[in-house]
Amino acid sequence: MSTTSYTVVGMTCSHCVDAVTEEVSAVPGVATVDVDLTSGGLTVTSTEPVDDDAVRAAVEEAGYSVAS
């Protein structure tokens, strides 16, 4: 198992958390997704290597961005 952390910018409510969780969960290899609304933290646990660009694209598809 591998864990990677990101910071999501622009989330303001639980719907935001749900949208990010749904999109990132669909990325191949992702096992679990934990999103913290207060900090903007996104923790992705995977069973195999996950493409960082795919996670960032999933966050953008949900309507938010990943801090650099």
Does the structure show a pLDDT above 80 at 13? yes
Note the pLDDT of residue 68: 77
- Tokens for 21? 């969780």
| pLDDT of amino acid 34 | 98
Domain edges within the chain: 2-66
| Mean pLDDT calculated for residue range 5-30 | 97
Kindly report the CATH class assigned to 2-66.
alpha beta
User: How far is 37 from 13, CA to CA, in rounded Å?
Assistant: 7
What is the tens place of the pLDDT at every residue in 19-66?
A: 999 999 999 999 999 999 999 999 999 998 899 999 999 999 999 999
Q: What is the pLDDT of residue 12?
A: 97
24: nearest Cα among 9, 35, 37: 35
